Amino acid sequence: MAELRLVNGVRRGKTFDIILDGQALLAYEGETVAAVILASGRRLLRLTRKRGEPRSVFCNIGVCYECRMVIDGSPNVRACQTRASPGMVVNTQHGLGEDDIA
Amino acid sequence: MIARADLAIVGAGPAGLAAAIAARQVGVAAVVLDDNEQPGGQIYRQPPRGFSIDPATGIRDDQARGRRLLDDAARAGVSVRNGVAVWNAKPGALYCCQGDEAWTLQYETLILATGAYERPLPFPGWTLPGVFTSGGVQSLLKAQRIVAGKRVLLAGTGPLNLVVANQLADAGAQVLAVLELARPSVFDLLPMLAGRWELLAQGIGYVGRLAGRRIPIMRGWTIIEARGKEEVQSAVIAQVDDEWRPIPGSERVLEVDTVCLGFGLLPSTELSQLIGSEHRYAPELGGWIPVCDEYCETSMPGVFVAGDGAGIAGSLVALEEGRVAGLRAAMRLGRIDPKEFSAQAARSLARLRRLGRSRAVLDRISRPRPGLFERITPETVICRCEEVTASEVRKEIEDGATSLVELKARLRVGMGLCQGRICSSTLIELLAQGTGQRPEDVRPFSQRPPVKPIPVSALLALEEACHD
């Protein structure tokens, strides 16, 4: 199996790019930010405040808040609950994200 | 801003939607609020707009059932307001927030249909990227058609893992095994025949399909450690005894890139607790649930809890409970009399009595056992938000902490964005072990608003509105 984004049995809508850490990343209309990133094969969404540990999606239903990222300038936004939109600027969050806001 | 409703419903999964439909049919227009972007809840999660999913993908059943329920709701004239966080609940009022907008919803009757989330059970490495909840992996697959990984191990207990394993295999992932803690005997399953043929047949179907694919269901095994640097690369698994304690010497290591954890569900009770209704400790769930009568009404008249938020029972029970609660709320509002309530609710109440029997059996098989907590090492992270380890927690317990409130004051556990949803059930267990209290005697966190993070701007808007 090569692709994480399945092609059989589904028709997706329009494509567009989001900007993840300065790089363009392909997204389909309707996908969450978390889905777009996981589909690309990347898992890291943030690094923790105390230990700098990598964290990714855990519950994917908005309960655990592990997937928080800096999205369009706001830190602590849940990637699993946020729909990707054209040109959305998404950054890996470091700690509480104060230093990630330009 | 202040809005008013005869009936407010929180949650638009099966219970909330069924409640709204039943109420609408007897003339009560409910205001339905849901945190997700689309109605349907977790089980009936619909693909996003712009997607169309082929019915042959094997994930159609729940989505089709959900679609039918949503169509019923639309026909009945039920409207759902999605993307709304209900962050505080008081008798007579809900506090709502959507983006920067905040408002108060004053209600006469309230149905909480807030559902459940996966029971978080810590072990070394469970915070590594690539370790997911099984439900999370399933929703990624069902709603987004994205498969979480390529070499997958599932661990836990209960039917969800069997379902997800098949769905992952359908999607082309290599499923190494399903580790199932319980070893139910055939006698445990017999009472199911009394009411849930359909479920039994489904269960046998899942097991059969896994066997056909040569995916082993390893009964009496579980995961004890996830290893990796940037993300999970291997899993240490072990056999467990009858109390689910890992058996030393039985360990094996599997190369994986994805781990799914499905150890049962915990009800979301933040709002029912916050509002002040009576709760009881349910040992079969290892958590607190609202005390409800047979009509889903809590200790507070006019406040109802329906579906998994009242105890884990699945979507069939949720649909019937929702209907009963919706009709009962209409009765409380004086729109139908007790006689009409009885007539309208009779079928649902009869079904609930039947479904209750198999639920008790499932509860007995999957009751969390203390051995699972023996996987926790001193370095294991318990509170994921504040990165607090088991050794830090145990030290405070040795130094005299006896309640969750004290641990919170000393360690900030439960103060992160998840508001204790992930750590509190484990902390209760660690406190019980360390102090000799029974879990039900450990004083839990007191629920405080906001139960969900909201922007300060929303609070300010509310504050200004109050002074207008």
**Domain with A31 in it: what CATH number?**
3.10.20.440
| Contact with chain A for residue B391, Cβ under 8 A | no
Q: Which of A64, A67, A69, A76 to mutate to test the interface with B (most CBs of B within 10 A)?
A: A64
Q: What is the pLDDT along chain B (468 residues), one digit of tens a residue?
A: 899 999 999 999 999 999 999 999 999 999 999 998 888 888 888 888 778 877 655 555 777 888 899 999 999 999 899 999 999 999 999 999 998 889 999 999 999 999 999 999 999 999 999 999 999 999 999 889 999 999 999 999 888 899 899 999 999 999 999 999 987 655 555 555 444 555 566 667 788 888 889 999 999 999 999 999 999 999 999 999 989 999 999 999 999 999 999 998 899 999 999 999 999 998 888 888 999 999 999 999 999 999 999 988 888 899 999 999 999 999 999 999 999 999 999 999 999 998 876 566 666 666 778 899 999 999 999 999 999 999 999 999 999 999 999 999 999 998 888 889 999 999 999 999 999 999 889 987 878 888 887 877 777 777 665 554
* Chain B from 119 to 138: CB within 8 A of any A CB: 120, 127-133, 135-137
Q: What total of structural domains would you count in chain A?
A: 1
ipTM of the complex: 0.96
Domain range for A50 is: 15-96
Partner residue facing B133 (CB), from A6, A39, A58: A58
Q: Under an 8 A CB cutoff, do B172 and A11 touch?
A: no
Strands B381-383 and B303-305: unpaired
Q: Which of A6, A45, A46 to mutate to test the interface with B (most CBs of B within 10 A)?
A: A6
**Helix (H) or strand (E) segment spanning residue B142:** helix B134-144
| Contact with chain A for residue B65, Cβ under 8 A | no
Q: What is the CATH superfamily name and number for domain B376-441?
A: BFD-like [2Fe-2S]-binding domain (1.10.10.1100)
Q: Where in chain B is the domain with CATH 1.10.10.1100?
A: 376-441
What pLDDT shows up at residue A1?
A: 40
Class of domain B120-263: alpha beta
The DSSP call for residue A59 is S
Burial of A44 by CB count in 10 Å (0-12 exposed, 13-18 middle, 19+ buried)? middle
Q: Which residues of B touch A6 (CB under 8 A)?
A: 145-147, 171-172
Topology classification of domain B2-117+266-363:
FAD/NAD(P)-binding domain (3.50.50)
Please report whether residue A47 resides in a domain. yes
Q: Which residues of B78-109 are buried (b: 16+ CB within 10 A; e: fewer)?
A: bebeeebbbbbbeeebbbbbbeeebbbbebbb
Query: The tokens 């707009």 sit on which residue?
Result: B49
Q: Where in chain B is the domain with CATH 3.50.50.60?
A: 2-117+266-363, 120-263
**Helix (H) or strand (E) segment spanning residue B109:** strand B101-112
Please report whether residue A72 resides in a domain. yes
Q: Which of B60, B84, B138, B140 to mutate to test the interface with A (most CBs of A within 10 A)?
A: B140
- Is the separation of the CB atoms in B404 and B424 below 8 Å? yes
